[in-house]
Amino acid sequence: MQTVIIDTDFIKLDALLKFSGIAETGGDAKLMVQDGEVKVNGEVCTQRGKKIRPGDIILVGDLEFTVEAQ
């Protein structure tokens, strides 16, 4: 499991995918979320603007990572 550290209260899901390097562009992140390729805390999430907070676990394919506060 990888860790992504944020210095804000939350980050939107699509921005997190881009920030973490999972998606190369915001457009790629949008498509991944809309296509149901992303799970947040074990559930498929199709809301690209979903607020991701420290402690949340994101799964994309075989990549799993957790979000932590700085």
Residue 1, pLDDT > 90, answer: no
At 62, phi and psi to the nearest 5? -90, -5
pLDDT at 6: 95
Strands 57-60 and 43-44: unpaired
C-alpha 53/C-alpha 49 separation (Å) is 12
Q: How buried is residue 57: exposed, middle or buried, by Cβ count under 10 Å (0-12/13-18/19+)?
A: middle
**pLDDT digits over 6-55, tens only?**
999 999 999 999 999 999 999 999 999 999 999 999 999 999 899 999 99
Give backbone dihedrals phi and psi of 16, rounded to 5 degrees, phi first: -65, -40
Which CATH number does the domain housing residue 28 bear? Answer: 3.10.290.10
Q: How many domains does the chain have?
A: 1
Residue 13 domain boundaries: 2-69
